[in-house]
């Protein structure tokens, strides 16, 4: 049997790769292929998974739903021709798969629609939508979200129609609440968790730390500007504007800022912004850093330290007490560790106010919206003074994002429903 994976974004590619890797381990003879609908799909290169059709990085970076001008930029950049070429490649792949084929769609409506159009059996891992955008376990979040949920679900009728076709062998929502709502219709729903948390293991720490030790321990922040160029560079400048007040308010705790930078970004613009903000480069001292990156760049200002790293993403999430975030997947993974994230709205196309507001509904009390960078310090101060709120945030994040191990569960289920084992 052969499996073709369709995904539409950097985060979706990473989730897809986790599932495909689990499939390889469960069924080594399985033939795997991929087609990233958005971007170049470099995540698939790590597993040597062949890409069957044309790929291209569009100007919007895949965020055409944010505003109409982004769609127009993509159309001028060759979106329509690329879409047609990708459709033909999928159909050709299915026709050549004589021993049976399964199309795995990871993302939103776009790969799901392509999977249905393929003519083959398919499955869907829904990464983009959650019922938490509209409601929680107690009911609708507000009269406004009740109106937004006119379809009875965050998934629209046409999306549910695609999920309920006979050729759809399995639908894997990102959380239990979404699974329960989709089960109201004739949809093959499997509530197996969220692969987004795979590989982001929770580190068990010594809980015997005294209040006095806690008060003198370095306060650590992970800075998450995103991965899309050039938006990430503007996000970085905005995030840095939050650091002066944090350094001033928490000077006694020697603030440590960990810049978790995507490997696709150029560090030069980030270093330039640091210089403009008064940060000075320093030799790296591995004994003082909670991450293991020999290529990390270290900067200091007063009693604060800032580190740029492009290879220890998971370590940064683990080490940090708070996140200052302007991204999607990374923010959700940090929240899934039971920690509070503070989000800043940017200029887009991804990280706009509308995006952050929707993200705050999705993640609930674990994500706090800061209207301006200057508000971050007071939010941190408020959180540190409220242990009950921090405990609520810890429980909420793990409930909404789930535990690691979902990729393997999904892989085993795919093999079962496709009749491979």
Q: Which two tokens stand for residue 177?
A: 């609440």
Q: Is the pLDDT of residue 60 over 70?
A: no
- Classify residue 77 by burial, with Cβ atoms within 10 Å: 0-12, 13-18, 19+: middle
Q: Is 317 helix (H, G, I), strand (E, B) or coil?
A: helix
* Cα-trace Rg, the chain: 22
Q: Is the pLDDT of residue 206 over 80?
A: no
Task: List the CATH code of the domain at 211-401.
Answer: 3.40.50.2000
Q: Is the pLDDT of residue 271 over 90?
A: yes
Q: Which two tokens stand for residue 95?
A: 């026709």
pLDDT of residue 285: 72
pLDDT of residue 17: 95
pLDDT in tens, 237-264: 999 999 999 999 999 999 999 999 998 8
pLDDT of residue 184: 97
pLDDT of residue 112: 97
pLDDT in tens, 140-150: 999 989 999 99
Per the omega criterion (within 30 degrees of 0), is the bond before 349 cis?
A: yes
Q: Which of 62-71, 109-118, 183-192 has the lowest mean pLDDT?
A: 62-71
User: Is the pTM here over 0.95, yes or no?
Assistant: no
pLDDT of residue 408: 97
Picking from 255, 395, 270, the residue whose alpha carbon sits closest to that of residue 322 is 255
pLDDT in tens, 74-100: 656 567 888 899 999 999 999 998 778
- The yes-or-no answer to whether 2-199+404-417 and 211-401 have a common fold is yes
pLDDT in tens, 162-178: 999 999 999 999 999 99
- Residue 15 near residue 127, CB atoms below 8 Å: yes
Which runs of E-coded beta strand occur in 138-194?
A: 139-140, 168-172
Q: Is the pLDDT of residue 203 over 80?
A: no
| Chain mean pLDDT for the chain | 90
Hey, what CATH topology would domain 2-199+404-417 get? Rossmann fold (3.40.50)
pLDDT in tens, 24-46: 999 999 999 999 998 778 889 88
Q: Which of 72-86, 109-123, 294-308 has the lowest mean pLDDT?
A: 72-86
Q: How confident is the model at residue 66 (pLDDT cuts 50, 70, 90)?
A: very low
Kindly list the domain boundaries of the chain, sorted by start residue.
2-199+404-417, 211-401
Q: Is the pLDDT of residue 420 over 90?
A: no
What average pLDDT score do residues 104-121 get? 96
Q: 419's torsion region: left (phi>0), alpha (psi -120 to 50) or beta?
A: left
Q: What is the DSSP string of 344-363?
A: ---SSSSS-HHHHHHHHHHH
pLDDT of residue 78: 65
Q: Residues 74, 76, 81, 84: is their CA dihedral positive or negative?
A: positive
């Amino acid at each position: 049997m052969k499996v073709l994976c369709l995904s539409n974004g950097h985060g979706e590619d990473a989730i897809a790769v986790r599932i495909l890797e689990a499939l390889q381990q469960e069924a080594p003879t399985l033939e795997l292929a991929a087609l990233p609908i958005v971007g170049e799909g470099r995540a698939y290169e790590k597993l040597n998974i062949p890409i069957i059709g044309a790929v291209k990085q569009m100007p919007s970076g895949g965020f055409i739903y944010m505003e109409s001008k982004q769609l127009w930029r993509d159309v001028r950049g060759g979106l329509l021709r690329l879409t047609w070429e990708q459709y033909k490649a999928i159909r050709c792949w299915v026709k050549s798969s004589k021993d049976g084929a399964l199309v795995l769609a990871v993302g939103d409506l776009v790969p799901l629609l392509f999977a249905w159009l393929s003519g083959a059996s398919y499955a869907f891992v829904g990464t983009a939508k959650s019922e938490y955008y509209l409601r929680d376990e107690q009911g609708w979040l507000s009269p406004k979200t009740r109106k937004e949920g006119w379809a009875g679900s965050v998934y629209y009728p046409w999306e549910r129609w695609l999920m309920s076709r006979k050729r759809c062998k399995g639908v894997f929502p990102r959380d239990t609440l979404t699974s329960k709502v989709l089960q109201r219709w004739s949809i093959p729903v499997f509530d197996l968790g969220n692969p987004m948390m795979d590989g982001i293991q929770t580190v068990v720490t010594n809980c015997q730390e005294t209040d006095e030790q806690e008060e003198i321990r370095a306060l650590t922040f992970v800075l998450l500007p995103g991965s899309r160029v050039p938006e990430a560079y503007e996000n970085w400048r905005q995030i840095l504007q939050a650091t002066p007040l944090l350094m001033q308010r928490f000077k006694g705790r020697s603030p440590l800022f960990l810049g978790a930078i995507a490997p696709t970004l150029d560090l030069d613009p980030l270093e330039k912004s640091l210089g403009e903000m008064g940060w000075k480069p320093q030799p790296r001292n591995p004994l003082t850093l909670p991450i293991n990156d020999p290529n990390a760049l270290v900067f200091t200002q007063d009693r604060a330290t800032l580190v740029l790293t492009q290879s220890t993403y998971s370590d940064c999430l683990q080490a940090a007490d708070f996140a200052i975030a302007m991204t999607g997947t990374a923010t959700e993974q940090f929240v899934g560790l039971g920690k509070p994230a503070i989000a800043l709205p940017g200029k887009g196309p991804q990280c706009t106010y509308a995006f952050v507001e929707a993200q705050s509904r999705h993640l609930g009390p674990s994500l706090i919206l800061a209207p301006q960078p200057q508000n971050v310090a007071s939010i941190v101060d408020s959180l540190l003074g409220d242990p009950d709120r921090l405990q609520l945030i810890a429980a909420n994040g793990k409930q909404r994002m789930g535990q690691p191990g979902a990729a393997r569960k999904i892989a085993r289920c795919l093999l079962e429903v496709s009749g491979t084992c």
